[in-house]
Chain A
Amino acid sequence: MSLPASMTHPPGAYLHGFHGGLKLRHYKQMSTRLGLARPPLPAYLQLSLLQHVGVAAEPVVKVGQQVRKGELLATAAAGLSAAVHAPTSGRIDAIKEQALLRKPTLAAAAITLLPDGHDEWHPDCQRRIGNWREFSAENILQRISAAGIVGLGGAVFPTGSKLSSQWGMPAHTLIINGAECEPYISCDEMLMREHAGEVLLGARIVAHALGIDDIIVAIEDQLGALARALEAARAQLDDAQLRVVKVPAVYPEGGERQLIKMLTGLEVPADGFPQSLGLACINVGTAWAVKHALIDREPLIERVITVTGAVREPRNWLALLGTPIEHLISHSGGLEQDNARLVIGGPIMGEQVLDRALGIDKGSNCLLALAPDRLRQPEQSMPCINCGECVRVCPAMLLPQLLYHGVRKGDLGLTAELKLPDCIECGCCDLVCPSHIPLTDHFRAGKQLLAQQRQQQARADKSARRHAAREDRLQQAAEQRAAKAAARQARASDPAQAQAVIAAALARARQRQQERDGSSGSQAGDSQAGDVHSEQDSEAS
């Protein structure tokens, strides 16, 4: 596969580093002692219809309806959306509005499913669907979309849409993102350890669909045993164009743009996607889900989630989507401290769990219990002393301290100038700030304000355009009217024109008369007309 001119080496041949980031203490081993397992079936599953980026899925089942495992519960809406399937067989108990687990300020419809305990597959599922190597790209991408697969690294962007979006140049490399960089999270590591073959097969299927030969699996460099497991699986699949690349463990390397910079030395343009560099990048779990969709004909109904921190038995679960938080906690030995804070996601970018009755979603990679003594204290922050540590660690290469002043002053113009929307909310600046300023909170708020302002601006622009268009239209109409009037006026005031008009009218009248009368009695009219004509002629001359 030929590489674009901007790449002097194949991706992953050298490591390039990226600006900023942090080397953090990891607590991954904590949750990797026990193997992957499935928790017992919970009493209920709660499936949000907005587990992805975009528009909520539309339910196709009714309350009281019996469904089987893998059956479609909600279909992808128009636009960016993803389907939701039944994780087990059972009865639909309710469909009602619920706060989102990972975005508690938003709400969407959620389906409550009461498992019947039979865990009986829908007949459409688990059937061989032929050799994927013979499938067309469209077919594979369509099957990925139909299975409800989204980015399982936490970004939850619908994978089918992501892979079929515009390519800036010919696709040449598929990157499998296994660089789990937040402390505590080990779900990708465990998945690769125990199902390396499935992950690599899923990756190969995606690469096949995109017409790509080269695959890079990127993992953190301290995972030597994992690298060997992946190598073994690669050898078994006899996949010569798949490489395992170890990258230094620097947070936030799991960020797609940071990982691509590390592997290629190139930056994905701020307004572009990896496709602009001929790259595709998907998470380990996503590749695994693709394998299940294309080989086993199973939609996305479960995922690996790390349950760790202040729980008695930290481990990774292969949990059905919709499994309640409370269920996972109690089967992980319960909380060590009742007042521990529950966080969905990692300790740096995760969201606090406000309702333990909610079910996990497609983006729930980790459920972390943080004991109070591990938490950031809501202490009063000190003034910014401009120390510049935030500038040093910012992977987006922003000037966080100036952005902070901009947001504080409400100077949205300044924040836009300093590229606030490029903030990836990784939290690095918070972690190094000696003044303990909640910078990321400020940036989230500022981004929201900017987005609102842009929306308002867009609306204002739109109505301004409409107004201008209306004015134009009115003016044009007025001009046309004026032109017509002027033309009439001109015709009336210009004798030659007027004569021509009159002559034409007379001619028409004469013709009609002739047609009516035949030949008789028309002479008089004729001569009269001729008289008028000649008189006017003489006047004009």
Chain B
Amino acid sequence: MAVTTAAGAPHIPAQNSVQKVMAQVLVALLPGVLAYLYYFGIGMLVQIVLALSFAYLFEWLSLLLRKQPLRMFMGDLSAAVTALLFALSLPPLAPWWCSLIGMLFAIVIAKHLFGGLGHNRFNPAMVGLAVLLISFPRIFTYWTPPQMLADTSLSLGDVLYTIFSSQPPGALSWDAITQATPLDQLSTGAATGLLVTEVRQNPVFGDFGGLGWEWIANWYAIGGLWLLWRRVINWRVPVALLLTTFLLTTPFYLFDPDANPLPLQHIFSGATVLAAFFIATDPVSGSATPRGQLLFGVGVAIIMLSIRRWGAYPDGVAFAILVMNMFAPLLDQYTRPRVFGHPR
């Protein structure tokens, strides 16, 4: 009998794969993407295509330079998830180079310079977004109103023209085709001393959050619940994040409803739900321990609300997540679970 080294147990294969995990995340984002398209038009689709193209260009180049197996890593779909989350955070009419810069920082710097898949300290999509938020804040005023409120409807040609020329189409001005987001309005409203109830008179607001936005959030949540059910993500981060958001804003609202928005407003506007189910749940840059994940969610919510309330940015999800990414190793260190058979 030939002497061979024994294959280690277990002998049967794992059922899961990185590719399957990422594919499910993409599928779970689909309802939200479709809702987004419905409310905000074709611009979002262009952003997604741009982000995906740049993401895979940079992924390919990075893998080539790092001499990594191309087939294995190009197929893992992680770059697609990064690109999609990034694109969904961009205004639909953002210029094309936003994706270029964003994906350069996300894929090359945040991901591959740190060692590639599984080694990034920070959420790549949020790194790309944060770079743009800090360097080109004006872009984030290029939000179009939901289509039912838009004065002018933009054709695909108009959208492409705007994105690639960074100019409004035809004789239109930026003011004519864009509108401040609900969170922008709350932020400026608070700065100018308007009551929340007055700000909310604006038709851009819906029942809880922004018109359209709240429904997109709902569809994100449905995708997120599906991921929970599929056990792709666990409940800790989303529950901690959403519950903290709700519990922290409720007393303020009850105490002074004129100055503080409805708790549900915070949940259903901006990127709160997207972050809760899809971004803060990124395992690589998050905490590994159960209690660490709860604290991670709580931390993201607190920082996000602080930025919304006192910061210079209307949303703050990206920064909240990046800050908590920094704390993830510390959380892992101090929230180790008890081991079976050992006292607490």
B12 within 8 A of partner (CB):
yes
Q: Hey, which chain A residues are within 8 Å of B13, CB to CB?
A: 375-377, 436
**CB–CB A376/B341 < 8 A:** no
**CB–CB B11/A348 < 8 A:** yes
Q: Of B8, B16, B69, which contacts A432 at CB under 8 A?
A: B16
B120 to A: closest C-beta gap in Å: 10
**Given A382-B72, A388-B288, A402-B288, A375 and B11 contact (CB-CB distance below 8 Å):** yes
**CB–CB A386/B283 < 8 A:** yes
Give the nearest-CB partner of A345 in chain B.
B9
**Given A270-B341, A440-B10, A441-B8, A385 and B284 contact (CB-CB distance below 8 Å):** yes
A252 to B: closest C-beta gap in Å: 11
**CB–CB A270/B7 < 8 A:** no
**CB–CB B288/A352 < 8 A:** no
Q: Hey, which chain A residues are within 8 Å of B234, CB to CB?
A: 388, 392
From B293, B332, B342, name the one whose CB has the most chain A CB atoms within 10 angstroms. B342
**CB neighbors of B among A372-401 (8 A):** 374-378, 380, 382-389, 391-392, 395-399, 401
**CB–CB A433/B16 < 8 A:** yes
B4 within 8 A of partner (CB):
yes
B66 within 8 A of partner (CB):
no
A319 to B: closest C-beta gap in Å: 21
Q: Of B3, B15, B341, which contacts A268 at CB under 8 A?
A: B341
Q: Hey, which chain B residues are within 8 Å of A397, CB to CB?
A: 337-340
Among B87-95, B111-119, B187-195, which stretch is in contact with chain A?
B111-119
**CB–CB A440/B341 < 8 A:** no
A377 to B: closest C-beta gap in Å: 7
Q: How far is the CA of A376 from the CA of B18 in the complex (A)?
A: 16
**CB–CB A399/B341 < 8 A:** no
Considering only CB atoms and an 8 Å cut-off, how many residues of chain B contact the other chain? Answer: 45
Q: Of A269, A341, A368, A384, which contacts B7 at CB under 8 A?
A: A341
A348 to B: closest C-beta gap in Å: 4
A307 to B: closest C-beta gap in Å: 16
From A19, A382, A389, name the one whose CB has the most chain B CB atoms within 10 angstroms. A382
**CB–CB A370/B12 < 8 A:** yes
**Given A357-B1, A422-B341, A433-B16, A352 and B118 contact (CB-CB distance below 8 Å):** no
User: 1/0 per residue B222-249: CB within 8 Å of A?
Assistant: 0000000001001000000000000000
B21 within 8 A of partner (CB):
yes
**CB neighbors of A among B267-288 (8 A):** 283-284, 286, 288
Q: How far is the CA of A374 from the CA of B10 in the complex (A)?
A: 11
**CB–CB B11/A388 < 8 A:** no
A31 to B: closest C-beta gap in Å: 16
Q: How far is the CA of A29 from the CA of B288 in the complex (A)?
A: 39
**CB–CB B7/A431 < 8 A:** no
Q: How far is the CA of A430 from the CA of B10 in the complex (A)?
A: 7
**CB–CB A348/B9 < 8 A:** yes
Q: Of B10, B76, B288, which contacts A386 at CB under 8 A?
A: B288
Q: How far is the CA of A243 from the CA of B69 in the complex (A)?
A: 57
B289 within 8 A of partner (CB):
yes
A438 within 8 A of partner (CB):
yes
Q: Hey, which chain A residues are within 8 Å of B171, CB to CB?
A: none
**CB–CB B11/A370 < 8 A:** yes
A435 within 8 A of partner (CB):
yes
Q: Which 3 pairs, one residue from A and one from B, show the smallest C-beta to C-beta distance? A: A383-B118, A270-B341, A427-B10
29 pairs across A/B with beta carbons < 8 Å? A267-B341, A270-B339, A270-B342, A343-B11, A352-B11, A354-B3, A354-B4, A357-B1, A370-B12, A376-B10, A376-B11, A376-B12, A377-B13, A380-B69, A383-B117, A385-B21, A385-B117, A386-B288, A388-B234, A388-B293, A399-B289, A425-B9, A427-B10, A431-B10, A434-B16, A434-B18, A434-B21, A435-B118, A440-B8
List A residues at the B interface (Cβ < 8 Å): 19, 104, 183, 257, 261, 267-272, 341, 343, 345, 347-352, 354-357, 368, 370, 374-378, 380, 382-389, 391-392, 395-399, 401-402, 418-419, 422, 425, 427, 430-436, 438, 440-441, 444
